[in-house]
Amino acid sequence: MPAILRQRRVCQSGWFVRKLEGTPHWVQIVELFNQTSRGQPGSGCTRDERMEITNQSSKSPYSCHVRRIVLTRNVENVYLGPLIGKSTEHNLPKLLALHSCIEQLVRHEEHVRRGIRYEQVVHSRLDRVWIASHPPVAVLDPKYVWIPGGQDYQRGVCDRHAFMNRSSAHVYFRRWDFLLDGRVMRIDSQFASGRLNSMLQMNDENYLADSLAFYRLPIRRFPSASFLGCCPPSLHSCFRSRCLQLQGLRLPRKAQGLCAASAVNETFSPPVGGSRLLRVGAKLGIGRNHLLAAPDECERHVGTNDPAALVAAALANNYSIAGKYHMEMHWGVQIAFLLEFPSTKWVTVAVAEPKHWPRVGLGGVGLRIDARTHATLMKVVELIVPWSPPLFCTNATTSETVAEEEYFTCGTVDR
């Protein structure tokens, strides 16, 4: 299928100033900032009337300080940035890019596909790192907007990746339109209430959550083996200031093969053994004598002959990743590890079990694993992702009828 790529210059602050100041409700938005800050010296939004604004102006004429509410410093990461907020924030350009994307999609459907609409649409940031596959489309019910679990911040919903049906895309991708036509005054829960209680709730994740709720688009979650990566040093306008590193065990090449052979033989059910084990050894370049001694040799390097440790050493050896949020990275590695097991399956998580599946977006999909794999996972958390909370696993939430003592369903928990 041919890809459609369009590169456009990022609009400067002046372009956004002229666009939004031309709307009748912009005065109300500025007044909300001033009303919330009234009586607080040094608070509120002021406009530098001496600044000449053109489409090429790189600075915003607005300077906003709100000291009375949660954020007691300059208003920073709000979805109105860089018009209101930090000059380095690109939230408005991002919303405009989403608008351009859906407009391009509509034109393609009309002129190339002759009116035939796509069934599903995916939004995903290019700096998102995937270390295992996306859940198969077959398990994602098209009635819902599918968002990665465990990656929400400031009580919003993750705005970096989503899988949705074509109709939902007209809400997800048109938040810029809502700013222009005034619908934002009814969609943004704080604007609708007539009072700003928290600048932390004015980031784009909360704007997305408010938009989906306003149009009654239900959200579902899936455990994602992906995370927001770091920018290379050559890019100066991108996030680089807090790049976290995570790496696995460092084993010699010979030990890698020996541990892999031991893992296959000792842990995967049923044990392979015999001629099949020899074929595994041949693929790994390990002779028969070394293969038979693999568990002992691996133990010398790993420090244990526990099957879980062997699997951890084999599957997670020498990985090295860098990202913005440590929780996304830690959970991503665990999910990628589980997906290496042939017995792991994607299953539907029941909606009616909130006490067993807290804050997961009223259900979704999870990874079904057997009890032995669950025990292995706990060992892996200690070995390859130290200081990381494990995935949330329960044996009471799958829609399939399975013996509770034999299977667990695992996923991520939203804070």
Q: What is the DSSP letter of 229?
A: B
- Final residue before a domain boundary, out of 316, 342, 370: 316
Residue 183 domain-assigned?
A: yes
Instruction: Count structural domains, the chain.
Output: 2
Q: Is residue 146 part of a domain?
A: no
**Domain range holding 26?**
1-120+166-217
Q: Which of 270, 291, 316 is the last residue of a domain?
A: 316
Question: How many other CB atoms are there within 10 angstroms of residue 300's CB atom?
Answer: 10
Task: Collect all residues with Cβ–Cβ distance below 8 Å to 122 and sequence separation of at least 6.
Answer: 161, 162, 163, 164
Same domain, 261 and 200: no
pLDDT at 400: 46
Q: Are residues 20 and 105 in the same domain?
A: yes
Assess whether 209 and 259 both reside in one domain.
no
Using the 3D structure, point to which of 290, 316, 342 is the last residue of a domain: 316
- Kindly report, residue by residue over 65-81, the tens digit of the pLDDT: 765 444 434 456 789 98
Give the largest Cα separation in the chain, rounded: 83
Question: What's the confidence (pLDDT) of residue 63?
Answer: 84
- Predicted confidence at residue 337, as pLDDT, reads 75
Determine the pLDDT at residue 7: 65
Could you tell me if 172 and 60 lie in one domain?
A: yes
In this structure, are 260 and 307 located in the same domain? yes
User: Do 205 and 255 sit in the same domain of this protein?
Assistant: no
Note whether 116 and 12 are same-domain residues.
yes
Which pLDDT score, from 0 to 100, does residue 106 have? 95
Of the candidates 331, 266, 268, the residue with the CA atom closest to the CA atom of residue 302? 266
The verdict on 97 and 21 lying in the same domain is yes
Q: Same domain, yes or no, for 211 and 273?
A: no
- Interatomic CA distance for residues 172 and 158, integer angstroms: 12
- Are residues 292 and 193 part of one domain? no
- What residues of the chain score a pLDDT lower than 50? 68-74, 267-274, 277, 280, 284, 291, 317, 352-362, 397-405
In angstroms, the Cα distances linking 407 to 267, 272, 355, 397, 412 are: 16, 22, 18, 10, 17
**Are residues 289 and 172 part of one domain?**
no
Report pLDDT for 136: 94
pTM (two decimals) = 0.80
- pLDDT value of position 196: 83
- Closest by CA to 38, choosing from 67, 61, 63, is 67
Q: Is 306 exposed, middle or buried (0-12, 13-18, 19+ CB in 10 A)?
A: middle
The verdict on 188 and 270 lying in the same domain is no
- 385 within a domain of the structure (yes/no): no
In a domain, 355, yes or no: no
